Every structure is written in structure tokens, then in C-alpha cells.
């Protein structure tokens, strides 16, 4: 049994907030835990080190490359599921699991996905404009841009990329498509956005927000986050932990709002004399990487980890 063997990948990945996340998550070594995004297994390996022989870890990932890495871990306590963490309730039910002591969600795209140019996540190398985390199914970014109307493209880039030039970018994309030469590669998209975006924050590539938006849309990331948070709340018993690591404001806002909403007592206006519905979560911490971690891994600089604990008994 070798739960802690190092990841074997062509593209390296440094797990962000590794010790902090595992410390916050694992409070009962004999319990069952969820790693919602296996990635290259940094958090999963550390969780397995903390678990007792009776403990169990169920990890999720949509990326076939992540599943191949998980298959290298020879540990009967680990189960890997080729699925989104948004579907964790059904997946755990299929395994006969109705309660877990902790859920960890490490959101966003991983370093190996960015660094592998063929995946189409990066504007720093030319590749087909794919952006799917699960390369076995679904629509690519290029296919979305080849069919969507101007309004839909603008909404995606504005809402998921917080891009103030979304209208100009969408119009340019559709005009190019109608000319008979639709955008098909990462560098084609990057160049088009650079022409449409007139100003940009110092040090940021003009295409950054557009690439983020298309990736989030293609992978339905925010929808999965909403579903995963609700599923986690239903699965956690009292004192169970929810740990979420976000890398941009859209994700963190959803997590912060969810925890805040579930940390308030709710009164039924139809029955003003009835006792309030008790709060279901208690916010425990908001943690940022240390200066030393950011210096060693610059991609950690935008990370925010929120920790909450289940309070009331699940209904």
C-alpha cells in the first residue's frame, strides 16, 4: 500500500495551501472524506496520510489525466470517481455513502492543464481552442464560439470574465466567423481579443479575462460549485468540515455568500411566533497563502481558503 507515492506527470503541479487545507479538513482520522478535485493528487495523498486504516477518501475529477494519476495510488481507502463534484451526492450514494466528515473543493484549473498547451487553456502557446476539463465529452470552446450568437458570447465573457470590453470582443468574434474564418486556436483568440481590448491592467494579458470566461462556461464550473456546496451541506454531520479553495472573485463570492446564508438563523414570516430555523454552518476561517508560499509558487497568490463547520443536524 503506497498512498503517498509522488505524482508522476510531465507537467509539475504544486498544491496550494496543502497543510492548511488538510489540517482544517481531517478532524476524525477514521472518517470518510471527499476530495472534489483530485488534480494530481496533492491534497488526496496528504489526506490519506492523516487517515487511520479505517478511514476512507472518495476523490472526484473530470480530467482523464487526473484519473490516470489516481490509478497509481495503491490504497484500498481511496475511491476515484470520473465525475464532477457537483454530482457527489449521487456518486456517493452509489457507493453506499450517506454521510462524510469533510468535503474539500480546490477550484479552478490545475497547473498541468494550463502547462499542457494541447489542452487549449493558455494563450501563451498555439493549440486547438478546447478548454474542456473532461476531454471525453462536451462542447469545446471553439465549438461554442462557432454556434453562439453575439448576445450569448457577450454575456459569457462579461459575466464569467468580468470583462468590460465583452461587447466589442463578442462582435469581433462573430464578425470573423461570418467572414468564413472562425476562431479555432488559442493564439487566434488571443490576437483577436488584443485588438478589441483597448486598455488593460498593467501586467495582465488582454486575453486573460476572456480565456477565464470561456473555460468557466465550457466546464459549467459555477453551476457545479453551487451544486457541490448544496450537496456538501446535506452530506455533512454536525462538526463535519467544508473547505473550499478559490482562485478568483467569482468563485470566492459564491462560497462566501453560501456560508454566510447558511450561518444565519432563518425566521418564517408566515409563523412569526415559531422558533427560527437554526443556522446550519459556522464560518471558521478565511486563509490566504503565506508570503513564503507565494514566493515559491506565484500561482498561489490569488488563492483564498474558506473553512466552515456543520452545526445543526441535517434534515
pLDDT tens for 213-262 read 999 999 999 999 999 999 999 999 999 999 999 999 999 999 999 999 99
Domain boundaries, the chain: 18-112+221-310, 135-218
pLDDT tops 60 at residue 11: no
Q: What is the pLDDT of residue 110?
A: 83
- At the top level of CATH, the class of 135-218 is mainly alpha
For residue 261, count other CB atoms closer than 10 A to its CB: 12
Structure-block grid coordinates of residue 273: 411566533
Q: How many angstroms separate the CA atoms of 36 and 13, rounded?
A: 17
pLDDT tops 70 at residue 89: yes
> For residue 108, how many C-alpha atoms fall within 13 Å in the half-sphere facing its CB?
25
- Residues 60/81, Cβ–Cβ less than 8 Å: yes
- Residues 24/46, Cβ–Cβ less than 8 Å: no
Element (H, E) at 304: strand 304-310
- Strand pairing category for 304-310 and 78-82: unpaired
Mention every residue, 6+ apart, whose C-beta is less than 8 A from residue 19.
46
Mean pLDDT rounded to a whole number for the chain: 91
For residue 241, count other CB atoms closer than 10 A to its CB: 23
Q: What is the pLDDT of residue 269?
A: 60
For the chain, counts of helices (H) and of strands (E): 13, 7
Q: What is the pLDDT of residues 175-208, one digit of tens each?
A: 999 999 999 999 999 999 999 998 777 778 999 9
Q: How many angstroms separate the CA atoms of 312 and 315, rounded?
A: 9
DSSP secondary structure string for all residues of 60-107: EES-HHHHHHHTT-B-TTEEEEES-GGGHHHHHHHTT----SEEEEE-
18-112+221-310 domain in CATH 1.10.3470.10? no
- Strand pairing category for 102-106 and 241-246: parallel
pLDDT tops 90 at residue 315: no
Residues in the chain: 315
pLDDT (average), residues 296-302: 91
Three-state DSSP at 266 gives strand
Query: Which neighbouring-strand residues pair with 196?
Result: none
Q: How many angstroms separate the CA atoms of 155 and 167, rounded?
A: 8
Sign of CA dihedral 64, 69, 73, 77: negative
pLDDT > 70 fraction of the chain, expressed in percent and rounded: 90
pTM: 0.90
For residue 9, count other CB atoms closer than 10 A to its CB: 20
Q: How many angstroms separate the CA atoms of 199 and 201, rounded?
A: 7
Amino acid at each position: 500500500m503506497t498512498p503517498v507515492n509522488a505524482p508522476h506527470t510531465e507537467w509539475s503541479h504544486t498544491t496550494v495551501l496543502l497543510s492548511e487545507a488538510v489540517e482544517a479538513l481531517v478532524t476524525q482520522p477514521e472518517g470518510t472524506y471527499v476530495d472534489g478535485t483530485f488534480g494530481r493528487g496533492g491534497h488526496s495523498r496528504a489526506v490519506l496520510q492523516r487517515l487511520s486504516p479505517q478511514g476512507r477518501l472518495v476523490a472526484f475529477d473530470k480530467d482523464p489525466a487526473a484519473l490516470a494519476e489516481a490509478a497509481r495510488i495503491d490504497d484500498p481507502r481511496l475511491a476515484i470517481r470520473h465525475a464532477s463534484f457537483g454530482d457527489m451526492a449521487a456518486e456517493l450514494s452509489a457507493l453506499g455513502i450517506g454521510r462524510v466528515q469533510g468535503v474539500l473543493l480546490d477550484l479552478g484549473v490545475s497547473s498541468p492543464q494550463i502547462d499542457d498547451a494541447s489542452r487549449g487553456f493558455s494563450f501563451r502557446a498555439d493549440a486547438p481552442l478546447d478548454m474542456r476539463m473532461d476531454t471525453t465529452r462536451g462542447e469545446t470552446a471553439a465549438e461554442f464560439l462557432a454556434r453562439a450568437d453575439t448576445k450569448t458570447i457577450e454575456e459569457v465573457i462579461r459575466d464569467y470574465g468580468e470583462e468590460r470590453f465583452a461587447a466589442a470582443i463578442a462582435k469581433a468574434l462573430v464578425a470573423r466567423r461570418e467572414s468564413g474564418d472562425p476562431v479555432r486556436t488559442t493564439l487566434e483568440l488571443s490576437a483577436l481579443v488584443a485588438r478589441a481590448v483597448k486598455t488593460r491592467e498593467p501586467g495582465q494579458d488582454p486575453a486573460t479575462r476572456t480565456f477565464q470566461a470561456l473555460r468557466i462556461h465550457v466546464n459549467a464550473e459555477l453551476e457545479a460549485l453551487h451544486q457541490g456546496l448544496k450537496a456538501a451541506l446535506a452530506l455533512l454531520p454536525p462538526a463535519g468540515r467544508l473547505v473550499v479553495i478559490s482562485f478568483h472573485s467569482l468563485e470566492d463570492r459564491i462560497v462566501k455568500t453560501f456560508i454566510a446564508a447558511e450561518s444565519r438563523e432563518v425566521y418564517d414570516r408566515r409563523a412569526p411566533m415559531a422558533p427560527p430555523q437554526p443556522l446550519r454552518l459556522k464560518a471558521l476561517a478565511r486563509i490566504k497563502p503565506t508570503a513564503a508560499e507565494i514566493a515559491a509558487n506565484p500561482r498561489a497568490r490569488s488563492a483564498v481558503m474558506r473553512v466552515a463547520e456543520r452545526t445543526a443536524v441535517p434534515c
